[in-house]
């Protein structure tokens, strides 16, 4: 049977990406509908139209991970029962729904096999050198852990570490740049439905010297005393600058009052 995949989705770091849709299924107009992901303790539901001639239904075979299922698909709607296949949460699933020409079944809930943030934090620790180490369990799909630091009155994303995605106990680590003074760090996972699960915070006090700054009016630049992440907002809360380094160019900004985030602090900046 000729198979022509006209929509393709690829899991990258546990996410599904496609410019046209968030659905995680590939539709083959010649007779195969594919749904792939991980088992999340939910079943798949399929709308199954009548054949053009009015006799019989579209689907004629369903396989999960290569094995023929016993689902009753000779009806206008049916359920792919993943819960009776001996699958464990987080196990990979590859569903093939074969159908006859001239019609097309539709999966109602393809997102139920996308990874969800279910991890449990066994431990999390941050030392004075910025080395973050955490141990997790009960992962049910490969989602990235987003490392965040609390500063400037909000949680800031630092980087991502790919999760293993299986239910066992797993150890992860990353070394980050600390800010001066108190540092509060956590890891979070975000599901495809935007649900967020966060770990407890790990804290450490850094004795590093606070970053200072000066403004060079002639060069129209802010010079920091050490490398730092920074943000600059106008009085309306619109972001104007964001970066990392020792210098922030402001020659393209109008004169006025701005608010500058750097190191662990927020200060007012007046461009004259």
Looking at the domain assignment, is residue 162 inside a domain?
Answer: yes
Q: How far apart are CA 91 and CA 110, in angstroms?
A: 16
| For residue 212, pLDDT beyond 60 | yes
Boundary residue ending a domain (206, 228, 245): 206
Choose the final residue of a domain: 113, 140, 155: 113
Per-residue pLDDT at 25 exceeds 60: no
pLDDT computed for residue 125 by the predictor: 98
Q: Would you state the pLDDT for residue 20?
A: 27
Domain of residue 139: give its range: 120-206
Chain Cα centroid distance, residue 77:
32
Q: Flag whether the pTM goes above 0.85.
A: no
**Three state DSSP letters for 100-116:** CCCCCCEECCHHHHCCC
**Which one has a higher pLDDT value, 140 or 62?**
62
Domain shared by 130 and 158, yes or no = yes
Domain co-membership, 85 together with 139: no
In-domain check, residue 1: no
CA nearest neighbour of 217 among 155, 140, 161, 269: 269
Please give the residue that has the higher pLDDT: either 269 or 195: 269
pLDDT tens string 31-58 = 899 999 989 889 999 999 999 988 999 9
What is residue 115's predicted lDDT score, i.e. its pLDDT? 87
Q: For the chain, how many structural domains are there in total? A: 3
Mean pLDDT within 222-226: 97
Mean pLDDT computed over 208-216: 96
């Amino acid at each position: 049977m000729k198979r022509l995949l006209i929509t393709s989705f690829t899991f990258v770091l546990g996410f599904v990406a496609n410019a046209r849709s968030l659905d995680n299924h590939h539709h083959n107009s010649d007779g195969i509908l594919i749904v792939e992901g991980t088992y999340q303790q939910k079943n798949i539901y399929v709308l199954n139209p009548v054949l053009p001639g009015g006799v019989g239904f579209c689907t004629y075979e369903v396989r999960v991970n290569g094995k023929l299922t016993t689902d009753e698909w000779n009806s206008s709607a049916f359920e792919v029962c993943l819960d009776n296949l001996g699958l464990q949460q987080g196990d990979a699933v590859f569903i093939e729904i074969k159908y006859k020409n001239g019609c097309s079944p539709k999966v109602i809930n393809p997102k139920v096999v996308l990874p969800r943030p279910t991890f449990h934090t066994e431990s999390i620790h941050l030392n004075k050198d910025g080395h973050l180490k955490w141990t997790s369990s009960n992962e049910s799909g490969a989602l990235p852990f987003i490392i965040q630091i609390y500063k400037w009155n909000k949680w800031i994303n630092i980087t991502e570490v790919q999760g293993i995605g299986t239910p066992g106990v797993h150890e992860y680590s990353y070394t980050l740049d600390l800010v001066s003074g108190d540092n509060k760090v956590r890891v979070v996972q975000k599901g495809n439905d935007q649900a967020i699960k966060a770990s407890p915070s790990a804290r450490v006090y850094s004795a590093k010297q606070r970053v200072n700054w000066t403004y060079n009016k002639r060069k129209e630049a802010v010079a920091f005393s050490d490398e730092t992440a920074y943000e600059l907002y106008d009085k309306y809360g619109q972001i104007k600058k964001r970066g990392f380094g020792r210098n922030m160019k402001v020659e393209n900004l109008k004169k006025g009052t701005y608010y500058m985030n750097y190191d662990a602090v927020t200060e007012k900046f007046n461009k004259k």
